[in-house]
A and B are shown apart, each in its own frame.
Chain A
Amino acid sequence: MNLPMSWLSDYTDITGVTPKEYADRITMSGSKVEGVKNLGADIDKVVVGKVLSCEDHPDSDHLHVCMVDVGEEEPIQIVCGAPNVASGQKVPVALNGSTLPGGIKIKKGKLRGVMSNGMICAADEMGIDSSRLGYEPEYGILVLPEEAEIGSDLKDLFGLNENVVEFEITSNRPDCFSIIGLARETAATFGKPFNVPKPKFEEKDGDIKDMISVNISDKDKCKRYTARVVKNVKIAPSPKWMRERLEASGVRAINNIVDITNYVLLEYGQPMHAFDIRDLKGAAINVRRAAPGEVIKTLDEEDRKLTENDLVIADAERAVAIAGVMGGFNSEIKDDTTTVVFESAMFDAASVRLTAQRVGLRTESSARFEKGLDYHNTVPAINRACELVEELCCGENVKGMIDIMGNVEEPVEIEFRPEKINAFLGTDISEEEMIKIFDALEIKVEGNKLYPPSFRPDLLAEADIAEEVARFYGYDRIPTTLMSGATTTGIKTPEQKTQSEIEETLLAQGMYEIYTYTFESPSVADKLGLPEESPLRNQVRIRNPLGEDTSVMRTTMAGSMLDILSRNYNHRAKSARLFEIGRVYIPTEEGQLPDEKPTLMLGMFGGVDFYDIKGAVEEVFKKLHIDNVDYERVTDDPTYHPGRTARIIVNGRYAGIIGEVHPAVLRRYEIGARAYIGELDFRVIHNASNKRDIKYTPLTRFPAVTRDFSILIDRITPVAEIEKVMKKAAGKLLTQLELVEVYTGEQIADDKKSVMYKAQFRAPDRSLTGEEADNLHSKIVKGLLTQLGAELR
């Protein structure tokens, strides 16, 4: 909402308040100022001049040399190229050193050898258009009216010395979508008197009832309809003062009748419409619902298809306006219009909002209606329009007014408990001070009851009243205290602690945390190579996505991670080690929320292999004291390398997968290096974490004995198998088992590998003898030979 500051003076007086001061104080009382713009800020040193003489340039076939009186002691010489310049004209003169819109600077200089001390300006060079002028300027320089005073500032002549305050009006304050509403807030903020003069005008002869009839057939959607008629209308441009106020508010001037409706809309916040009575068939106005599929061409000459939920203004035959949104092209005001019907109505907020949405039109009018207007405002607004008709001498107001009520809400009554308001705000404001605030806001006080004015639909309960008191008492005057009452402790939940520990561990592994979007393209499933029947293809779909690329909620984080690996690879990062603790969204039942599964995603490339990502996972398990972990070979997951992937089993439950990314997937993600990813179920990990069960094991004083094992075994036998056999054979005395080396290559058969272990034996209660250690060694070797077909090297 734009407020030209000079307009405030019609209702209140804030003389001497600077725009900056105004913006600060009105913001602090709740009307947020987005900015203040001076309309003439980019025009400087442009004055009214009179062309005293105009002669042809001696050296040019189109330039003129003019002597111009600009109110200085001597006239100045200006070379001008406009065809319409002539002696005796009043013209705008940009003096030497002046500024024009667009940052253009005018300096004196010679034009074809003749000195020019400035420039005579065209309208567009000053940013002035037909809306502000009231007519289309002719080609060339702008000729000013004879009464313009020589030497005066051009900005004064065109109302450009105006400061326009731009407000952000919140949806709860429809009343502030008007100059009067803002003036009321202004007066209350600055403690100044506030007065809206009652519109006065003369009703000429005739009777509206003989000219038009009005019927409301949906009294829920139309809460009030007020109409007046103006005859002997003469369509013409509006006067300068009105055009300037409209322009300053950001509304283009069109003609006197249309301008009056727009002026009242701005001033009173009441949308108005004007029909040409010739176009109302049957001289009737019927406020009804549209027929399904009914089409109306609106003022912007677009055909709009309506539904039975849309409200229209119709004549005896057809719709002539979409109620509260836009008028119809078929009944618009034309240059030869002579009789006008003014409409000032109140339509249901939700209905206008939905219709505006449905037809894709958001207008000054619909923006106001959808916030909920005051049905008491229709009559003052239409009377103001008639007053302006009289003032502009553009028609005669016919006697009488049609005013039909629909179904309206009863005004509310709120209990006034000053002590409760103070307790709520933490203040000590006197009842008198509160009442002073209520008076300024036109909230009626009767005993211990409050009656908010009808234009304040936001005031419904005590808390709303408390806000009014707080706003005008001043938020900054409310004390700052710390909460009293029961203390609470701020601690992390067990899940949050687990998350922090995982993060710490991965950071220590040199991994960086990332943040990714949670929605993705359905084609990610194809890029990951997921089979058609994969349950991961069953995804939560967004009905109104920004695009196909962001239309489904992810069911795996692999795509998000590969995107980021790819981006870094393609930005020439030599390596990346990344992780994210995020969510995947698994659909449940129709109409129910999905399961948002917390997930740990890992990814890396560059100087790493499978054992780096596995090491990271192992460190996480170590940190969380999870020791019952198995890694099983996975050969058939299409996202992963069939020979370099493992499923992770924790306490017998599936906990996730880690592995090298399948080359086909790497190609689809345009990653030119081997990459490794892992995806783990956070809940399984968290539930397996048993830090609470840590019990100290006494440190034994007795020495350990070590024995080395070097065996030859089938290449495909996993070391996990070997270790299982060794541990079982040795029993509790085996306290440590270290895999020293796995070797394949020269001197080893192709299907074999050489494996070396160092085992440590220790008893808690005695020193082991060499003989005992040798026995354990033999048992282990026997187990390896018989159970796994290994050979000693």
Chain B
Amino acid sequence: MKDKLEQIRASVERALHDADAMDALENIRIKYMGKKGELTAVLKGMGKLSPEERPKIGALANEIRNRLEKEIDDRKTAIMTALEEKKLKDEMIDVTMPGRKNAEGKLHPLTQVKNELAEIFMGMGFSIADGPEVEYDYYNFEALNIPKNHPARDEQDTFYIADNIVLRTQTSGMQVRVMEKTKPPIRVIAPGKVYRSDTQDATHSPVFHQIEGLVVDKNITMADLKGTLEMFVKKLYGEQTRVRFRPHHFPFTEPSAEMDYSCFNCGGKGCSVCKGEGWIEILGCGMVHPKVLANCGIDPEEYTGFAFGIGLERIAMGKYSINDLRLFFENDMRFLKQF
């Protein structure tokens, strides 16, 4: 009996030594330890042994079986590991090839800039208003202290629809519309299309976009105007940006100013982007003219305010180094995909 067991052990070890695949191992297991296997048969024959022999042979048989099982498992693991390694090696891909995308579209660069500006102002408590592009002369001019025959009307070549209706030349008319409807405190921006009868070229377009801003409340000062717009520019171009306010003239603000910011490219030393000036003009602004407040039924002795107007294209062109305004309206896919 004992010899038989030793014989089985020896032949299994030989067989294992030769086995190099999963199915060969499985066959060995079935041959010796399956229901009808040789080792199983030996264990089944234990009953015939004497009570003295039975524990010794039983222990030996179990030891052999455990060893064989472990041996087979180890061999199986080894083969599986080798197989997996080979598979992983075979599955090598070129990781430098482009990724597969869920092709998302993009917002037009002017919308991206508008959103960026709107978010900054919303963070400062401004809400967003919207108004008509085909506008009464009254809102576009008269109420803004630009009466008929005022020379300022020549500076903005106007498209007329009727005697009393124009395509708005500026978003400033929104100041009046907002003030007529809302009582102070007012903090509002109004983005939108404006129209001037300029022939299209690299720097002119008969349609372009502005963002108007308006603040009206008690005790609003020119220092507030400076502080608010400086904060806006620092949020747009970074904390290191400096601003300057130059006196200017708009009929509907007094005092009026144009705001420049230190060139984003050279930081103010002067370069080709800022034409050597170190400054880039970004917006026009001023304290709301008392006449305009009065035209809207707001008492200028009690309330003051400031207003500003930003050209969207100008900012987008600076930000993205775009040198031709027409690109915005051509909507070439090769252009749209860049932003």
- Residues of A at under 8 Å CB distance from B? 27-30, 32, 170-173, 349-350, 353-354, 370-371, 423-427, 461-464, 466-467, 470-471, 475-476, 478-493, 495-496, 503, 506-519, 540-546, 550, 553, 564, 567-568, 571, 573, 576-578, 583, 585, 590-591, 593-594, 596
Contacts and interface: CB of A to CB of B under 8 A. Distances in A.
A480 B227 contact: yes
Contact of B221 (A353, A481, A506, A596): A481
A503 B255 contact: no
A511 B152 CA distance: 42
Interface string B132-159: 1111100000000000011110110001
Interface stretch (B29-37, B50-58, B78-86, B162-170): B162-170
Q: What 10 A-B pairs are tightest by C-beta distance, nearest first?
A: A426-B223, A426-B221, A30-B247, A490-B122, A467-B255, A170-B249, A350-B149, A480-B227, A514-B331, A463-B254
B255 A577 contact: no
B331 A480 contact: no
Contacts of B111: 503, 513, 515
Q: Is the interface of A mostly helix, strand, loop or mixed?
A: loop
B217 A540 contact: no
Given A426-B223, A541-B161, A516 B125 contact: no
B224 interface: yes
Interface in B180-200: 185-187, 193, 197, 199
A173 B256 CA distance: 13
Interface in B198-251: 199, 206-207, 215, 217-224, 226-228, 230-231, 244-249, 251
B68 interface: no
Given A540-B134, A542-B159, 11 more contacts: A32-B248, A425-B255, A463-B254, A467-B247, A482-B227, A483-B227, A490-B125, A507-B106, A510-B103, A571-B334, A573-B332
Interface in B257-298: 257, 287, 289-291
Contacts of B332: 567-568, 571, 573
Nearest to B133: A596
Contact of A485 (B107, B124, B155, B219): B219
Nearest to B229: A480
Given A30-B247, A506-B105, A507-B107, A591 B162 contact: yes
A488 B183 CA distance: 12
Interface in B318-339: 328-334, 336-337
Given A466-B255, A467-B256, A490-B121, A544 B197 contact: yes
B268 to A, nearest CB: 13
A27 B244 CA distance: 11
Nearest to A24: B277
Given A478-B222, A510-B103, A542-B161, A471 B247 contact: yes
A437 to B, nearest CB: 13
Contacts of A550: 206
10 contacts: A425-B222, A467-B254, A467-B256, A478-B222, A483-B217, A495-B130, A508-B104, A515-B331, A540-B161, A593-B136
Given A542-B167, A593-B165, A482 B329 contact: no
A668 B265 CA distance: 46
A519 B231 CA distance: 37
Nearest to B293: A463
A496 B331 contact: no
A237 to B, nearest CB: 35
Given A510-B105, A517-B207, A542-B159, A594 B134 contact: yes
B185 A486 contact: yes
Given A512-B337, A513-B107, A593-B136, A564 B331 contact: yes
Interface in B76-109: 102-108
Contacts of A553: 134
Contacts of B193: 518
B162 A488 contact: no
A563 B183 CA distance: 44
Contacts of A516: 329, 331
B151 A370 contact: yes
A480 B229 CA distance: 9
Contact of B105 (A425, A513, A564, A594): A513
A371 B151 contact: yes
Nearest to A563: B331
Contact of B247 (A28, A463, A590): A28
B106 A512 contact: yes
Interface centre among B127, B152, B244 (most CB of A within 10 A): B127
A512 B215 CA distance: 34
A697 B313 CA distance: 48
Contacts of A578: 331
Contacts of B127: 488-493
Given A371-B151, A568-B332, A470 B247 contact: yes
Contacts of B104: 507-508, 510
Given A425-B223, A475-B246, A513 B108 contact: yes
A32 to B, nearest CB: 7
A463 B287 contact: yes
B105 A353 contact: no
B123 interface: yes
Given A426-B223, A488-B125, A488-B185, A515 B249 contact: no
Contact of A593 (B108, B134, B222, B331): B134
Q: How large is the interface on B (under 10, 10 to 19, 20 to 34, 35 or more residues)?
A: 35 or more
B103 to A, nearest CB: 4
A596 B134 contact: yes
Contact of B245 (A475, A491, A508): A475
Identify the interface centre among A463, A544, A567, A568: most chain B CB within 10 Å of its CB.
A463
Interface hub of B103, B127, B161, B247 (most chain A Cβ within 10 A): B247
Contact of A423 (B159, B199, B206, B221): B221
B291 to A, nearest CB: 8
A457 B66 CA distance: 113
Contacts of A508: 102, 104-105
Given A486-B217, A487-B125, A546 B206 contact: yes
B223 A481 contact: yes
B199 to A, nearest CB: 6
A240 to B, nearest CB: 34
Contacts of B289: 463
Contact of B328 (A509, A515, A590): A515
A424 B149 contact: no
Contacts of B135: 593
A467 B246 CA distance: 12
A483 B125 CA distance: 11
Contacts of B215: 483
Nearest to B243: A480
Contacts of B254: 461, 463-464, 466-467
Contacts of A171: 150-152, 155, 249
B116 to A, nearest CB: 14
A546 B201 CA distance: 13
Nearest to B218: A485
Contacts of A541: 161
Contacts of A543: 159-162
A576 B333 contact: yes
Contacts of B246: 27-28, 30, 32, 475
A585 B110 CA distance: 22
Given A171-B249, A594-B134, A512 B160 contact: no
Contacts of A596: 132-134
A481 B185 contact: no
Nearest to A170: B249
Nearest to B291: A461
A517 B328 CA distance: 10
B128 interface: yes
Given A462-B290, A553-B134, A593-B135, A496 B247 contact: no
Counting chain B CB atoms within 10 Å of each CB, the highest count among A464, A512, A591 belongs to A512
B156 to A, nearest CB: 11
B129 to A, nearest CB: 8
A433 to B, nearest CB: 16
